[in-house]
Homo-oligomer: A and B are copies of this chain.
Amino acid sequence: MKCVRNTLKYQTAIDYSILKMPITRSKSISEQVNELLRGRILDSTYVPGGRLPSESELSQEFGVSRATIRTVLAKLASEGLILRKQGDGTYVNERIDEVNAHVGGLWDFVRLIESSGYQASIESLSIEKRAATEQETFTLAIQPGDEVLALKRLFFANSNPVILATNVLPSNLIVKDTETFDGRLHIRDFLQQYCRRRIMYAISDVRASLAKGEVAGILHREPGSPLLDIRIAFYDRDNAPIVCGQSYYNDEVLRLRLVQTWG
């Protein structure tokens, strides 16, 4: 058994000064163990359907306590990547491809598209500052007439347009120039970088709707055909709404799939 603890313990954050991101944290031991194990699962070092080493073996290999190993395995199990059987062992879920597309949440569209086997690309349709709509003043808890920044983006799966997403946030939250921002960024990371806000949770409203007019055209659907309509609101640590979004999701091409675990 090789003890790799020295390489694990409180890895120094690299690029701290270069990236000028004061919130860069060094990776915790469990994060590193998580990435290692996740990597071995995804690249079939641990073969699908096969058994992982026991908790004690893993804790010895990595030189960490069994409790640390357990927190990592618990997370992987909650994502459906592994199955844990008391009295038996821990197994790699052989349905890994169905499951992997949806770890880390539903709303990371790039990841969702790519792990569904498509090439993902994004087209920024518009970035505009305008007065908030009535609906937006309500969900964002701002005043009528307050200025908001609206990002309208179109996601492609192998050059098929699949998701039309609009995100709206109050202009006054932006503390860093957005001229050069990366359109592929997840909203969560966008907020961290340009607004210095950390998102704690989101509430989504999933609905069925009918494609019509402009939206139908953009997503290449017949008017009147069904589309998923997902409204989302993100909240920060003070439970204040930061961003609201609306996405039309062409589920004819891209499946919206959820893995549910419990216990």
Task: Give A residues with C-beta under 8 Å from B.
Answer: 49, 78-80, 83, 85, 91, 93-95, 98-99, 103-107, 188, 199-210, 224-229, 235, 237, 239, 251, 255-263
Contact = CB atoms under 8 A, between A and B. Distances in A.
Contacts of A226: 207-210, 226
Given A106-B262, A260-B201, A95 B239 contact: yes
A263 B239 CA distance: 15
Contacts of A255: 205, 207
A98 B188 contact: no
Q: How often does this chain occur in the complex, in copies?
A: 2
A258 B203 contact: yes
Please provide the 8 A-B residue pairs with the shortest distance between their CB atoms, ordered closest to farther.
A208-B226, A208-B208, A201-B261, A206-B256, A202-B260, A204-B258, A208-B228, A207-B251
B203 A95 contact: yes
A38 to B, nearest CB: 15
A207 B256 contact: yes
Contacts of A199: 262
A216 to B, nearest CB: 13
Given A80-B201, A107-B260, A207-B256, 14 more contacts: A95-B235, A98-B203, A104-B258, A105-B262, A106-B262, A188-B262, A201-B259, A202-B259, A204-B259, A206-B206, A208-B229, A210-B226, A224-B224, A226-B226
